[in-house]
Structure formats: structure tokens, C-alpha cells
């Protein structure tokens, strides 16, 4: 199985002097293609920092970060942008759709950046929107959609370009439990049927249960790193 | 969804701000166009008065004639000049000049006599129609004279008045004769107004015993032949003679035209900068309001250049819309100023600059350049003004931007 993410002794510090904060303290992590991995931990444990570093949105203080075989620290900002565009998908906690774009236009944004011809990208986006259960809602603007529907658009936007890795920051945190379960079902199905690799943070028990692999992050250190069932058995 | 469509939608997220900026761009464009039209109108009026009335675009004299206006310094071969002009379909008027005294009753004054060929003058210049009263000289010599406005006034001459003329002829004799006033010119510039006495060329030859001497050939293509081409043509036809363009003959008018030209640009620059500041302010506000959105776009893979392109496209849409509306308003205003004009007579009456008379009704011209130059400049300034906010957006740290409340 191909390695998508390889973190070696990654640290991340914020501030300096007495205000120095160690967000990550020597994180080692490998994520293989096709994984469905959750990362749990209390607030301030470094979950978002880790996601940001893997997503090329932030750079580590030390250590090596290889995403899709490329060392993050060697890439310029533009190269990082291209890596995110072509190899990564993002799902944010608060949907973060562009308000002036319709569901279809939001979902096709990355394909547009990639220069995919209009007809082809429209066809692909319609197909993906149908897969996430938004058929018939393509022309609605975010304000015309429920929270769950908006997050489905965000999921469609993240997977439509078939990235190597989809990073999700607490994707079900802002929706009710029923919608959260439906979203999780959707991500699970996309993982199984399309082979999309998911790595997401969560603090919800129900979400952790669905992950095949669960990481426990505490004070910037991964405490447990294994199959969900194994971790739960040790607790 | 391209950058322009995206920009268009973003503009209407804050309709009031966009409306105010649109109004600023629209008004700036309209004022710029109307001002350009007025200035261009004034310049064209100045150049037209300077060239079409009497001076022409180019004049040819014998070397040294302009320094002392001696009756003996005549052109060597005026026929060659007239023939060269004819071949290029450029109208030309040969003229003879001499000085003398004129008197009506007890009133007398010095005068400069113009020996003109009425048919050539009519074909080349507007002077024959530029009469306050009476008529221009007829084709045949009949001892008629057309006087400058102020000369007629100082002589208290009227149409039909008899004028006694005394001159020193070219052969040294005293020439004198009696002429009848057939016309009085409108204001045509101070020099003409004060001392011009136009008579038929044949009358001139007889009065001054000047033989076939021609002192000046004035050419006027009415803008059909570029000035440098006309000068080049004449320098080939008459290499020995002194060839001067209207810009050299009337440096004050030429300077004034250049000054107006510079003034248009300075005036335009001020308006463009003001409009540009408006666009920049709008785009800065829009950028600050959408920092989180730009962070998301960067997280999704938008490159800094892509962000710059999106912001610049939004500014371009704003500037283009304002420019289109401003062009409509500017053209309407310019049309009014072309048809009705601004009446400056209460401030200046009839006035002249550098010897060229100006109509106190100031009219605008409408031309492609008076539309295109302000419109294109406004579009450019709109986009340029957006580059600073665009660069700010492009340089945002996506993590900080996304987590901005």
C-alpha cells in the first residue's frame, strides 16, 4: 500500500520566550492510501496543528513531513498551493463554502483551478453531488442549504478531484447527531467504494467508533496509534 | 465560473459600497470626458482659427522677409510652390504685402495692404466669410477694400465709405488712389483687426507698382495632409525659401495648445487618481471582509497569482461598469456642450490669444479619442488600484485567515 503521509519527529512551536508553546512534540506518523483514520484529543492537544502541517497550510518547526512523497519544507508557497490543489482535499468544521457560488460552483472550484474543461468538470461535479445526496440542489447557494447539506457540498468539493488524501477538521462538529451520522456514512462509503483516504480530527465518540484507525493526541504527542478496536480494548 | 463572473457576484455583496464607488467612477469618467471634449474643442477652435481663417498650415516666404517685411523680398518661383500644392490637392493662396496710409475724411491710420486673389482666398481660407458687414472682394479688381475691424472703427469707416490711400511704391514713387469699403472683417486677431486693408491683387500691383512680386504663399489642407508632410513637400519644391508651419508662425498659439494638452493630462490625472483611490478603498474593504474566504481559497489550492487575478478582475468589473455608465453620461454632457456650449462672453467678450480671435461660446468636440482615452485610462487605473489589496490577499497566511472570526 502506498504511503501518503510520513511524519518523522515533527515538532511545532508557537510564540517565544515565556510564551513559547509546544503544539507538537516529536510526532511520528504514517498514513497509507485507503485509510480511514480519526484523530481524537482534547482541545489544544494539537489536532488542528497536525492537520494544517499535513495539509501544507503550516510548516513544522523541526522534523520531516512528506506528503505524497514530497518534503513540505522544500516547497515554495506556490508549490504548496499546487500540492493542495492536486493531491489534497479539505473539509472544514464550519463548511467554509464561498457564499456567492452555488453548490455546483463550490464543488467544482478545485477542478476549475486545475483547468479541467467546463463540460468535463460539470459532469464530474454533478455525479459527485448526486453521490453525496444533493441531486437537484446544484444551483442553490449556501444560504439556501441546511448545515448538513452545506457540509455535503464541502465533502463533494474535497473529493471531486480524487485527491490522494482528504483532511477533515471535525467535519461533524457543527451538525446534529443524525446529520453527523449521515455525513460519516457518506465519508465511509466514499472510502470503501472510491478508495478515498480520509484523515480527520474529532472529539465525538460516535465518530471515533467508525474510524478504522484512531490516533490519540495529547499535549502534542500521539499516545495511541493503531486500529480502533485495539485502542478501545486497551482503554 | 471565471474570475470576471466571480468578481461580478462579489461586487453585489455590499450594494451600497459598490454603488458609491460606481458613482465615483462614473462621475469621474463623465467629467473627464466632458472636460477632454471642452479642452479639445478649445484647441481645435484655436488651431482652426489659427490656420483656417488666414494663416494656413504652412507659409512660404523669401529668406529674410519675415524679419523686415520688405516689399522687395519676394518669392523666387511662387509658381513652383503653387504647382506642388496643386499636385497634392492642397489649397494655396498667393499674397502680396505693402504698407501705407489710409484716410477717411479727417481720420487717418497706418495700414498693411494685402494684395489677395479673391478666388484663391475663398478656396483656401474662411476669411471671405468672416465678415462683420458688407462683402468680400469680388473676382475682378474694382478698387474695393476690406478693412480690419479696429482699423475701420478708428477711421469711422462704413460700407461704401471712400478711403484715400497713400503708399510708397516699389519703384520709389508715391502711389495714391481712392478705394471704396466693401466689407469689414469680424475680429480675426489683433494684428489684422488693427491694420489689415485687403485689396485685389491687380489693384495691389497697380498701386505698389510691384510687378509679379509675391511675398507669401499660404497653404491649407484643413488637416488632410500632416504638417510634416506638407513641410517636406515644400522644402522640395522651394528649397531656397523660408518655410514655416503655423506652430512656428504663431508660437503663442502653439504654446497655448501644448499648455492645454498638458492641462488635460494633469486635470485627467487628478480625476483618475481620485477614482482610483475610490476603487482601492472599495477593494481594500472587500479584501478585509473576506480574509477568511481568501484563506479557504488558498487552502483549496488557489495560488497567490490566482488570488491577485480574482481581486483584479473584481476591480476591473467595477471600473468597467462605472466607465460604461460614465461614458453614457459623459457623451450626453459633451453633446450638450457641443450643441449649446459654455457662454464665456460675460467674462471675456470676444478675445484673442497670440493674435488669434476666439469665439466666446466655448464648445466641446466629440471624437473617438475623447471617449477612448478616459475610458481606457479609467479601466487601467481601476485595475492598478486593486493590485495593493490583491497583493495583501495573496500574501495571507491561510491558517490565520481561516481562523479569523
State the Cα–Cα distance between residues B17 and B11, nearest whole angstrom: 9
**Residue-level pLDDT, tens digit, chain B, 405 residues:** 688 888 888 888 888 888 988 898 898 889 888 888 888 888 887 777 778 888 999 999 999 999 999 999 999 999 999 999 999 899 999 999 999 999 998 999 999 999 999 999 999 999 899 899 999 999 887 899 999 999 999 999 999 999 999 999 999 999 889 999 999 998 888 889 999 999 999 999 999 999 999 999 999 998 888 888 999 989 998 998 999 998 888 887 778 778 877 888 888 888 788 878 887 888 788 788 888 888 889 888 888 888 899 889 988 998 899 999 999 999 999 999 999 988 877 776 666 666 666 677 888 889 898 889 888 988 888 888 888 888 988 888 888 888 776
In this complex, which of A52, A58, A113 lies closest to B301 when CB atoms are compared? A113
Beta strand pairing call for B162-168 and B91-104: antiparallel
Sorted by where each begins, the domain ranges of chain B are: 3-51+253-402, 63-240
B6 touches chain A (CB under 8 A): yes
pLDDT for res A210: 84
pLDDT, chain A, mean: 87
Show the DSSP H helices in B290-364 as ranges.
291-299, 304-339, 345-348
Instruction: Please report, for chain A, the start and end positions of each structural domain, with discontinuous segments joined by +.
Output: 3-63+71-96+163-234
Strand ordering across the sheet containing A70-71: A21-32, A3-14, A62-67, A70-71
Decide if A101 and B9 are in contact by the 8 Å CB cutoff: yes
Residue of B9, B301, B304 lying closest to A110 (CB–CB): B301
pLDDT over 70 percentage in chain A: 95
B301 and A84: CB-CB below 8 Å? yes
Distance CA B212, CA B210 (A): 6
- Put simply, whether B297 touches A (Cβ < 8 Å) is yes
d(CA A11, CA A117): 41
Residues 6+ apart with CB under 8 A from A136: none
**Cβ-Cβ contacts under 8 Å, A84 against chain B:** 299-301
Sort out which chain A residues have CB atoms less than 8 A from B398's CB and list them. Answer: 57
Cell numbers describing residue B53: 481663417
Contact B301 A85 (CB under 8 A): yes
B146 within 8 A of B122, measured Cβ to Cβ: no
CB B212 within 8 A of CB B117: no
Residue of B nearest to A86 (CA): B301
| Nearest C-alpha in A relative to B12 | A100
In this structure, are residues B354 and B248 in contact, taking their beta carbons and an 8 Å threshold? no
Cβ–Cβ contact B3 with A under 8 A: no
User: Do B199 and B178 form a contact (C-beta atoms < 8 A)?
Assistant: no
The residue of chain A nearest to residue B302, with distances taken between CA atoms, is A81
pLDDT recorded at residue A232: 46
The length of chain A, given as a count of residues: 235
- Quote the Cα angle for A104-A105-A109, to 5°: 120
- Give me the pLDDT at residue A233, please: 43
Say if the Cβ atoms of B304 and A55 lie within 8 Å. no
Residues of A in contact with B297 (CB under 8 A): 98, 109
Q: How many CB pairs under 8 A join A and B?
A: 62
What is the architecture of the domain spanning A3-63+71-96+163-234?
Answer: 3-Layer(aba) Sandwich (3.40)
What is the predicted pLDDT for the residue at A231? 46
CA neighbor of B115 nearest in space, from B85, B146, B91: B146
What is the DSSP secondary structure assignment for residue A45, as one 8-state letter? S
Q: For residue B171, what is its C-alpha cell?
A: 519703384
Secondary element (H or E) of residue B236: helix B227-237
Residues of chain A with pLDDT under 70: 1, 225-235
Amino acid at each position: 500500500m502506498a504511503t501518503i503521509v510520513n511524519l518523522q519527529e515533527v515538532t511545532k512551536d508557537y510564540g517565544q520566550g515565556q510564551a513559547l508553546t509546544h503544539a507538537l512534540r516529536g510526532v511520528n506518523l504514517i498514513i497509507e492510501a485507503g485509510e480511514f483514520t480519526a484523530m481524537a484529543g482534547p482541545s489544544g492537544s494539537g489536532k488542528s496543528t497536525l492537520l494544517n502541517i499535513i495539509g501544507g497550510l503550516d510548516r513544522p518547526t523541526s522534523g520531516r513531513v512528506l506528503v505524497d512523497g514530497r518534503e513540505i519544507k522544500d516547497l515554495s508557497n506556490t508549490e504548496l498551493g499546487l500540492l493542495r490543489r492536486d493531491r489534497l482535499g479539505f473539509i472544514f468544521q464550519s463548511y467554509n463554502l464561498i457564499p456567492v457560488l452555488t453548490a455546483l460552483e463550490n464543488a467544482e472550484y478545485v477542478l476549475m483551478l486545475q483547468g479541467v474543461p467546463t463540460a468535463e468538470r460539470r459532469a464530474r461535479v454533478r455525479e459527485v453531488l448526486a453521490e453525496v445526496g444533493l441531486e437537484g440542489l446544484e444551483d442553490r447557494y449556501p444560504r439556501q442549504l441546511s448545515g448538513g447539506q452545506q457540509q455535503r457540498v464541502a465533502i463533494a468539493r474535497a473529493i471531486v478531484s480524487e485527491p490522494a488524501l482528504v483532511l477533515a477538521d471535525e467535519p461533524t462538529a457543527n451538525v446534529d447527531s443524525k446529520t453527523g451520522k449521515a455525513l460519516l456514512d457518506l465519508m465511509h462509503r466514499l472510502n470503501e467504494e472510491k478508495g478515498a483516504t480520509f484523515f480527520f480530527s474529532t472529539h465525538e465518540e460516535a465518530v471515533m467508533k467508525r474510524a478504522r484507525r484512531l490516533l490519540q493526541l495529547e499535549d502534542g504527542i500521539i499516545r495511541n496509534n493503531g486500529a480502533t478496536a485495539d485502542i478501545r480494548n486497551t482503554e | 465560473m471565471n474570475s470576471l463572473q466571480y468578481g461580478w457576484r462579489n461586487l453585489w455583496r455590499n450594494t451600497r459600497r459598490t454603488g458609491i464607488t460606481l458613482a465615483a467612477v462614473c462621475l469621474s469618467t463623465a467629467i473627464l470626458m466632458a472636460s477632454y471634449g471642452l479642452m479639445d474643442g478649445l484647441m481645435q477652435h484655436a488651431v482652426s482659427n489659427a490656420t483656417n481663417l488666414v494663416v494656413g498650415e504652412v507659409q512660404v516666404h523669401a529668406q529674410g522677409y519675415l524679419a523686415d517685411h520688405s516689399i522687395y523680398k519676394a518669392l523666387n518661383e511662387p509658381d513652383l510652390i503653387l504647382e506642388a500644392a496643386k499636385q497634392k490637392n492642397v489649397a494655396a493662396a498667393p499674397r502680396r504685402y505693402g504698407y501705407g496710409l489710409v484716410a477717411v475724411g479727417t481720420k487717418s491710420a497706418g495700414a498693411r495692404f494685402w494684395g489677395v486673389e479673391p478666388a484663391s482666398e475663398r478656396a483656401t481660407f474662411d476669411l471671405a466669410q468672416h465678415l462683420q458687414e458688407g462683402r468680400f472682394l469680388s473676382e475682378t479688381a474694382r478698387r474695393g477694400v476690406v478693412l480690419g475691424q479696429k482699423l475701420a472703427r478708428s477711421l469711422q469707416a462704413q460700407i461704401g465709405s471712400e478711403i484715400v490711400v497713400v503708399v510708397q511704391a516699389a519703384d520709389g514713387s508715391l502711389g495714391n488712389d481712392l478705394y471704396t469699403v466693401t466689407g469689414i472683417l469680424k475680429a480675426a486677431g489683433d494684428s489684422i483687426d488693427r491694420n489689415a486693408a485687403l485689396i485685389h491683387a491687380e489693384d495691389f500691383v497697380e498701386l505698389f507698382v510691384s510687378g509679379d512680386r509675391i511675398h507669401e504663399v499660404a497653404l491649407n489642407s484643413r488637416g488632410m495632409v500632416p504638417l510634416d508632410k506638407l513641410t517636406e513637400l515644400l522644402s522640395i519644391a522651394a528649397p531656397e525659401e523660408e518655410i514655416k508651419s503655423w506652430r512656428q508662425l504663431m508660437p503663442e498659439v502653439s504654446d497655448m495648445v501644448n499648455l492645454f494638452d498638458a492641462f488635460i493630462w494633469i486635470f485627467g490625472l487628478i480625476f483618475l487618481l481620485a477614482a482610483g483611490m475610490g476603487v482601492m478603498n472599495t477593494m481594500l474593504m472587500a479584501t478585509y471582509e473576506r480574509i477568511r474566504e481568501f484563506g479557504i481559497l488558498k487552502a483549496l489550492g488557489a495560488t497567490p497569482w490566482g488570488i491577485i487575478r480574482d481581486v483584479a478582475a473584481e476591480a476591473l468589473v467595477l471600473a468597467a461598469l462605472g466607465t460604461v455608465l460614465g461614458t453614457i453620461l459623459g457623451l450626453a454632457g459633451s453633446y450638450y456642450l457641443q450643441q449649446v456650449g459654455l457662454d464665456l462672453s460675460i467674462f471675456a467678450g470676444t478675445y484673442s490669444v497670440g493674435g488669434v480671435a476666439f469665439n466666446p461660446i466655448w464648445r466641446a468636440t466629440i471624437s473617438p479619442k475623447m471617449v477612448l482615452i478616459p475610458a481606457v485610462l479609467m479601466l487601467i487605473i481601476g485595475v492598478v488600484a486593486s493590485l495593493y489589496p490583491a497583493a495583501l490577499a495573496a500574501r495571507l497566511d491561510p491558517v490565520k485567515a481561516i481562523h479569523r472570526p
